[in-house]
Structure 1
């Protein structure tokens, strides 16, 4: 993975810059045709589609002002949506909208249209007065393309501002992050079993981060190559998504020699924000925050929280299928080189539900949705993970003991507890 190219592609200015460069090339191309090949134009383009220089200047001037206005309106709409994401959903969900290529593609089209019309006006000279030009035709066609993109943009914004669409995207994002680890499991040089029980020997050489931040990505192949080069083994001291400092050893190389490291940034990426590409835990955290906002007194939208909690069950079910053992990566000689650990499933369950339990324990619909999500996870979970699911359910019940629920509320919740107990193979308990 070329991380530098990835950072460039994900930056806000990348797509608008591409469209702007395309517009510059387009303006230069058709201005050259108008100046040098205007006689050839008359042979292949119907005369009705061509204009004089004066008319072309009028058209391009009007289009330039109109496209600048549409660009300003589009940018203002983007700012409003970003504010809505931050206040209504979660500040952590802003990146989901910022990374949306459609948003910046539309902005790039409008910026490119303004650049094209402005440059075409600049290049249009009185020396070709009285001659027919094609630049205005291209400008009109570009403006029609902008109108189409504007309609698509409005539809896209209206759809993505809906919380259910955001929840679905967050769920898919988390499942794709889990899929990264599932792809690792398919590697031929990877195993969760090791014959030497991962015995490390030699001098410990810690490799620390170059800056404070969150561990976003790791490069397994680079780590294997480094361990093989020094005939040692590497242990990861942190999990993806952990906060590290410049003095925090992210990985440790055990070898017989004391060595120094160069180009540490090739081994892992540490950034100021968490990233979901290899961090399903962060995707879950964002979904939890959306639910917490929904059940807050200021918003009071429990149905949104319930729908989101159901999606959490899907994501937790996928995560539960990952092995609890460490991932061991080998070189081509089948020598164990790198050991990587994941966040444990029981820890993830607690991190997912402890805040939801605290703020939603007096609402039986929220607690019922949490148990339903545990049921969804238990359907997919292997036997060893089902015990963790039952443990978190008992924890939820403990937090509800001092809440005064009515008889039908108890019956409603008890049915869900019984169903979960049957799925995980445990004896049911009295709920509340």
Structure 2
């Protein structure tokens, strides 16, 4: 009835690498260096001389140097252009939609691959260029690495294709619909990963913290990204304690403030606070920004940011807010598979030792609805879409906790909209919208009026 413990360090490293722009280009540069050295050695062994094989470079040392120099100089210019366009895209996404979208752009494999192809070809051309020799040079005989120069030409063609691909891809990426789709896909993958980790765990509230519990304080600050629960479970079990982590993935952690509770498993035992705080410090992954590794709310946060920014007076784009709410509706409906995402781990004897707090369905619903409801209260499109969102999620709700949370959000939306109906609508229209939510909660979908 518990999920399997995880080490966490490998996953933390994988998350850090996948969320960075440099690993794939760096790997391409290393591969280019190795390929340049290896092919020139092959050229040395084959030594075609004046009778090269077909379909390879047939020019002399001067022509080889000219070609390789042209490739290197043109590609460094193209790479500069690619970097410039990427920075412009990041600035636009940050200012126009949400700063949290930058992670999505940075981990974009198309951008990383195009950058890797251009940089790799540039480095390869330089590595091969250093081996070209003329007959009058110190080595005494000319040498043209014909296979290597031919491969450089082919890589140059691949670089042109990569640049065209990048320009086409960035044109699509600048569309807000594409950004929201990418956020939706990321959040869906996170939810699927968390659901797999949950296994057959009970779907229920957190255990009560007894009066004998002692607070465990954080020793550094940051956002909780994930927890290496395997080592932490081992440390808690060795201390004969039970630990409840009181921070959800994505929550801020402040050094010196309590972030967990620990209490002895047996009556009268003492809790080694210092030892447990040290184990907690080693096991939690705190970042300077949030991550979606174990946070089911992060995708919702990004979509709500887009909707709230679209509703600001400076942008005034309720259509984008409505599209964002459609993605929010789909994600909340998927999240309705469970009431809670808490994780419970036991020792070898089956005793519950470690409880990791996470997000609940009511918290996710509140995150996805409340802020947009506040900023879009005077817009007919947004209010109508919010009622539609609640009805769609209510149709997929299957537990009393979820239905109660939906009723709470419906009541808040009805109260706000009746007090100040959107332009062109009345309180009767608001009640009509509310009835669609009530019908969905009852397992019925209202037929359209004739």
**Same fold per TM (> 0.5)?**
yes
Q: Distance in 2 between matches of 1:201 and 1:333?
A: 25
Is the 8 Å Cα contact of residues 313 and 375 (structure 1) preserved in structure 2? Answer: no
Q: Distance in 2 between matches of 1:408 and 1:260?
A: 62
Instruction: Give the aligned partner of residue 112 of structure 2.
Output: 104
State the Cα distance separating 1:8 from its structure 2 match.
3.5
Partner of 2:374: helix, strand, or coil? Answer: helix
Is the 8 Å Cα contact of residues 52 and 133 (structure 1) preserved in structure 2? Answer: no
Is the 8 Å Cα contact of residues 414 and 434 (structure 2) preserved in structure 1? Answer: no
Count of aligned positions? 422
Question: Measured at CA, do residues 396 and 339 of structure 1 come closer, stay the same or move farther in structure 2, by a change above 3 Å?
Answer: same
Q: Is 1:389–2:406 an aligned residue pair?
A: yes
Deviations 1:239-292 (Å, cap 9, x if unpaired)? 111111111333334343525255645422011111122112222111011011
Question: Measured at CA, do residues 326 and 34 of structure 1 come closer, stay the same or move farther in structure 2, by a change above 3 Å?
Answer: closer
Q: Is 1:139–2:156 an aligned residue pair?
A: no
Q: Tell me which of 40, 48, 61 is aligned to 1:53.
A: 61
Equivalent residues in 2 for 1:233-312 (5 A)? 233-255=242-264, 256-257=269-270, 258=272, 260=275, 262=278, 264=280, 266-312=282-328
Equivalent residues in 2 for 1:32-431 (5 A)? 32-39=41-48, 45-46=53-54, 49-126=57-134, 127=139, 128-129=141-142, 133-186=146-199, 190-192=201-203, 204=214, 206=216, 208-255=217-264, 256-257=269-270, 258=272, 260=275, 262=278, 264=280, 266-324=282-340, 327-384=343-400, 385-405=402-422, 413-425=430-442
Question: Measured at CA, do residues 28 and 264 of structure 1 come closer, stay the same or move farther in structure 2, by a change above 3 Å?
Answer: farther
Q: Distance in 2 between matches of 1:131 and 1:361?
A: 72
Question: Measured at CA, do residues 58 and 378 of structure 1 come closer, stay the same or move farther in structure 2, by a change above 3 Å?
Answer: same
Tell me the C-alpha RMSD between the 2 structures. 2.8
**Under a length normalisation based on structure 2, what TM-score does the superposition of the two structures give?**
0.85
Instruction: Give the aligned partner of residue 430 of structure 1.
Output: none
Is there any run of 5+ residues in structure 2 with no aligned partner, and where? 1-7, 445-450
Q: Distance in 1 between matches of 2:316 and 2:355?
A: 45
State the Cα distance separating 1:319 from its structure 2 match.
2.1
Question: Measured at CA, do residues 33 and 225 of structure 1 come closer, stay the same or move farther in structure 2, by a change above 3 Å?
Answer: same
* Structure that is richer in helix per residue: 1
Deviations 1:178-212 (Å, cap 9, x if unpaired)? 2233123215xx44479x96676977372x43421
Partner of 1:252: helix, strand, or coil? Answer: strand
Partner of 1:270: helix, strand, or coil? Answer: strand
**Under a length normalisation based on structure 1, what TM-score does the superposition of the two structures give?**
0.88
